[in-house]
Chain A
Amino acid sequence: MCVAAVYLLWQRIGRKHLEFRPSTAMRRLLIASRAARLGVLELDSMGRPVWVNAQFPLLTGLGAFDPPTLQRVMERLHQDDRDAFRWSFEHAQRSREPVTAEVRLAMSAGEPRWIETIFAGSVDRAHRTGTVVVIAKDFTEHKRLEAEHRRQRQQLRRLARVSLLGELSEAIVHELNQPLSAILSNAEAGQRFLDEDNRNLGEVREIFKDIVSDDTRAGDVIRRLRALLARGEAHLQRVEVPQLVKEVAALQRAELASRGVRLSIQVPESLPAVRADPIELQQVLLNLILNASEAMNGGAQYERLIEICAAVMESGLEVRLSVLDRGRGIDPERLDQVFDPFFTTKPGGLGLGLSVCRTIVLAYGGNIWAGRRARGGAAFHFTIPVFQEECHAYELAQGVRH
């Protein structure tokens, strides 16, 4: 009985607006919306349908006899997205600007269907009440491609990370063998001390202490490796740069030592934290340091020194990190190419390292570039946005008004 009444009301409204008096402008809108597969629904201020096109119920899965009220449309949505939908409707009534919301349909199984909705408020002169036009578009394919793209990019980054680990493998073996070596020698010395008639228990106690700390050290190497190898989405968070640089230096120490390369770190502890994924940021630094070290390979004429510097940019919004070497440098005409995918000067190099570095840094809203040093060698710089709270604190410290 009630449903029938609503249906009749809906029929009446529908006839009045759609069938009997379609204006020229509305006809154009209808043609355009059908061609673009857009669902169009106009709601009055109470959320009751004023008119609707044929596409809208198809898009949202409303039944043919279902009146497309705000309430009924909302019921078709995923429950987490209903508030956003209502908020957009209410906001559009007061706003001159269209409001956009991406919402999911409440489907029973499988992948969610995504609908992009645009809410535009307007004032009906006759009724003096604001109506809201809701334009809906199936967004699922776009979302799927976006997710696929993100997944592929993530895989590429991981691939680059795994290949980076391959390059680091010698260093890793070294990093693990050092503490293992110390543990073995300590334990053997301890056994000998205990066999002596004149036992020096104090020394044995010291030995045990060292064994524990060397074991922790080996464990740390494994932990760093596991972190580097971990799959998973990039997670932007607050990252302390000095700490991160130290971690990277610890992973590289042996590799650099075996090449007779010295690493000089000039990173002030007072640096504001940045917003980045710590593992990816490590990856960028590892890549740049590895490249720098390879650039200085086999050149007795170079002082084998890599410098890592960091400073806040003048704006206070970004931190700049630089990796400087004293190798053969980069040809001026190649400065722009080095970040291209598959650009490599190394035999057997994949040419992905720097290209992935750029992808990572750009994703954070930073920038990366290469240069030549006045007295020979290459300079790689990149910027990373400061973590937001830090940004405010910095501005306050500088006396900047909000």
Chain B
Amino acid sequence: MPMSSPKVFVIDDDEAVRRALLRLLESAGYDARAFESARAFLQAGEGDTPGCLLLDMAMPGLTGLDVQHALLGSAANRPIIFLSASPDISSSVCAMKAGAVDFLRKPVEGPQLLATIAVAMTLDCESRRQRAMQLKIRARIASLTKREAEVFDHVIRGRLNKQIAADLGTVEKTVKVHRARVMRKMRARSLAELVQLALAAGLTH
């Protein structure tokens, strides 16, 4: 699937603000799209476009916080920068706790906004790379046989071949063979690398 170019999604119910933000972002070379409501954005189906959200806090209907909650944990989740025209400490705390990149007060100065957007774009890029890596590792894990998976599970918990053989009711030599297959299938050159992969896939604690 071809990856679309990263975009800044501007969601603000105020038309004048929306237009001005789009201009500023475009003048800085960003590809930006504006939506007048959270609903319009959620329905636009921009689920897998990389980028970040520039989200107004106070909107009629779904507020900025509602959008943040709707996106949390979904595939369409992206770094969020909140904009707010009125001081509201409690909602800014909520937003930051739920992982917002920043909470900026309107009127926000261009350099500050653009710097924050650059951070958000980098974060998105990084998290997408991680997610892609995770998918790859999970695919490798899925290719293991049941026995190999059992051996993998024991190995990454730091158990010795002898202990694994005892636990699985087999001999050390067989465990060694499985272990070699696991290393090959997981494309790991050392035990340390294997543990790293398991960590990246979110398997160990």
Chain A, Cβ-Cβ closest to B113: A185
Q: Does A203 contact B (CB under 8 A)?
A: yes
The verdict on A254 contacting B85 (CB below 8 Å), with A177-B107, A184-B107, A261-B60 known, is yes
Using a CB-CB cutoff of 8 Å, which residues 172-188 of chain B contact chain A? Answer: none
B86 touches A185 (CB 8 A): no
Chain B, Cβ-Cβ closest to A194: B27
Q: Which residues of B contact A261 (CB under 8 A)?
A: 60
Summarize B's interface: helix, strand, loop or mixed. Answer: loop
A258 touches B19 (CB 8 A): no
The complex places the Cα of A181 from the Cα of B86 at a distance, in Å, of 12
Using a CB-CB cutoff of 8 Å, which residues 1-57 of chain B contact chain A? Answer: 13-14, 16-17, 19-21, 23-24, 26-28, 57
B107 touches A173 (CB 8 A): no
* Pairs of residues from A and B, 10 with the lowest C-beta to C-beta distance, nearest first: A258-B58, A188-B110, A192-B27, A185-B20, A177-B85, A189-B23, A181-B107, A181-B106, A174-B86, A182-B20
B23 touches A181 (CB 8 A): no
Chain A, Cβ-Cβ closest to B60: A257
Q: Which stretch, B61-69, B124-132, B194-202, touches the partner chain A? A: B61-69
Chain A, Cβ-Cβ closest to B56: A257
The verdict on A189 contacting B24 (CB below 8 Å), with A174-B58, A183-B107 known, is yes
The verdict on A173 contacting B87 (CB below 8 Å), with A181-B107, A184-B107 known, is yes
The complex places the Cα of A364 from the Cα of B21 at a distance, in Å, of 47
Q: Which stretch, A13-21, A102-110, A209-217, touches the partner chain B? A: A209-217
B88 touches A182 (CB 8 A): no
The verdict on A170 contacting B16 (CB below 8 Å), with A189-B24, A254-B58 known, is no
Q: Does B108 contact A (CB under 8 A)?
A: yes
Q: Does B167 contact A (CB under 8 A)?
A: no
The complex places the Cα of A157 from the Cα of B73 at a distance, in Å, of 51
A177 touches B106 (CB 8 A): yes
A181 touches B17 (CB 8 A): yes
Interface centre among A196, A260, A261, by most chain B C-beta atoms within 10 angstroms, is A260
Q: List 10 A-B contacts (CB under 8 A).
A: A177-B105, A178-B17, A181-B83, A184-B108, A185-B108, A186-B23, A186-B24, A257-B58, A260-B63, A262-B60
The complex places the Cα of A185 from the Cα of B164 at a distance, in Å, of 64
B63 touches A210 (CB 8 A): no
B23 touches A178 (CB 8 A): no
Using a CB-CB cutoff of 8 Å, which residues 146-178 of chain B contact chain A? Answer: none
Q: Which residues of B contact A273 (CB under 8 A)?
A: none
Q: Which residues of A contact B26 (CB under 8 A)?
A: 189
The complex places the Cα of A192 from the Cα of B30 at a distance, in Å, of 13
Give chain A nearest CB distance to B113 CB in angstroms.
Answer: 8
A174-B86, A177-B105, A185-B113 known; 15 other A-B pairs, CB under 8 Å? A171-B86, A177-B85, A177-B106, A185-B20, A185-B21, A185-B110, A189-B23, A189-B110, A192-B27, A193-B23, A210-B20, A257-B58, A258-B86, A262-B60, A262-B61
Interface centre among A182, A185, A189, A217, by most chain B C-beta atoms within 10 angstroms, is A185
B107 touches A254 (CB 8 A): no
Q: Which residues of B contact A54 (CB under 8 A)?
A: none
The complex places the Cα of A214 from the Cα of B107 at a distance, in Å, of 13
The complex places the Cα of A24 from the Cα of B143 at a distance, in Å, of 128
Q: Interface residue count for B (Cβ, 8 Å)?
A: 32
Q: Does A59 contact B (CB under 8 A)?
A: no
Q: Which residues of A contact B24 (CB under 8 A)?
A: 185-186, 188-189, 192
The complex places the Cα of A217 from the Cα of B17 at a distance, in Å, of 12
Interface centre among A171, A181, A190, by most chain B C-beta atoms within 10 angstroms, is A181
What is the 8 Å Cβ interface bit string for chain A, positions 190-220, against chain B (1 contact, 0 not)? 1011001000000100010010011001000
Q: Which residues of B contact A178 (CB under 8 A)?
A: 14, 16-17, 85, 106
B108 touches A181 (CB 8 A): yes
Q: Which residues of A contact B16 (CB under 8 A)?
A: 178-179, 182, 210, 213-214, 217
A256 touches B60 (CB 8 A): yes
Give chain B nearest CB distance to A168 CB in angstroms.
Answer: 11
B27 touches A193 (CB 8 A): yes
Q: Does B119 contact A (CB under 8 A)?
A: no
Q: Which residues of A contact B63 (CB under 8 A)?
A: 257-258, 260
The verdict on A207 contacting B59 (CB below 8 Å), with A174-B85, A184-B107, A188-B110 known, is no
Q: Which residues of B contact A190 (CB under 8 A)?
A: 23
B27 touches A260 (CB 8 A): no
The complex places the Cα of A214 from the Cα of B18 at a distance, in Å, of 12
Using a CB-CB cutoff of 8 Å, which residues 100-153 of chain B contact chain A? Answer: 105-110, 113
B23 touches A185 (CB 8 A): yes
Give chain A nearest CB distance to B122 CB in angstroms.
Answer: 21
Give chain A nearest CB distance to B175 CB in angstroms.
Answer: 55
The complex places the Cα of A184 from the Cα of B27 at a distance, in Å, of 14
